[in-house]
Amino acid sequence: MSKAKRVCDRVYAVGGPGISSGDDCCVYLVDAGSELVLIDAGLGFSMELIFKNIKSLGFEPAQIWHAVATHCHIDHIGGLSALVDGYGTKIIAHQLDRAGVEGQNDQLTAASMYGVSLKPVKVDTVLNGDLEQMALGELSFNFVHTPGHTPGSISVYFDGRDGRVLFAQDVHGPFSPAWGSDLAQWRRSMQKLLALKADILCEGHAGVYRGDKVNRYIEAYIKRYQA
């Protein structure tokens, strides 16, 4: 039985704890009409289950034309190779995390924490700016550079029928110099997220928050990691 869950209009949770594997980050599928967009891809070992969840919603994995790597940790990018090898999915990531995604610096991926190795993939669309907008399918996606957890961490949002939907994958951290974490940058990034006034937050491990709980969740972590 599929455990995929509808989050809101056009957005579904198709992977993560309780849905695919506890080792996976939360994996979100966006129905952009003429194509599907996947936000992160989990550790990799549960991709067949993630694909099954996608099919249970009436979609096909081959419709995933783009996948977004919100940052280069292996629990977010380990499954990208299955998409690229199986369906030719194009990968979007930030330049500052590109070395991790493409396999040039394994330390950046935190793979040693999971006892696995990454099968790297090429980044097809390399983000460089603080804010870049891109039309994917019928939707306009906004890519915000939110460094701190890693140098190339990005958050993604679009405005839809249910308001502003924000994918901010690792608001909660953790932080390590091995990955290039920077708490001062992270605090500035969290202020960027608060300013977006999102209606729905799809976080990378904590799940979904709505309404006033979005900013309260972010503010709670700012308080936890006060200077």
> Domains of the chain (ranges plus CATH)?
5-224 (3.60.15.10)
Residue-by-residue pLDDT tens, the chain, 227 positions: 668 999 999 999 999 999 999 999 999 999 999 999 999 999 999 999 999 999 999 999 999 999 999 999 999 999 999 999 999 999 999 999 999 999 999 889 998 888 888 999 999 999 999 999 999 999 999 999 999 999 999 999 999 999 999 999 889 999 999 899 999 999 999 999 999 999 999 999 999 999 999 999 999 999 999 86
Q: Which runs of consecutive H residues, i.e. helices, occur in the chain?
A: 47-56, 74-77, 80-87, 98-101, 183-196, 212-224
Tokens of 160: 């839809």
pTM: 0.97
- What residues does 131 pair with on adjacent strands? 144
- Nearby residues of 126 by Cβ (< 8 Å), 6 or more positions away: 93, 94, 95, 98
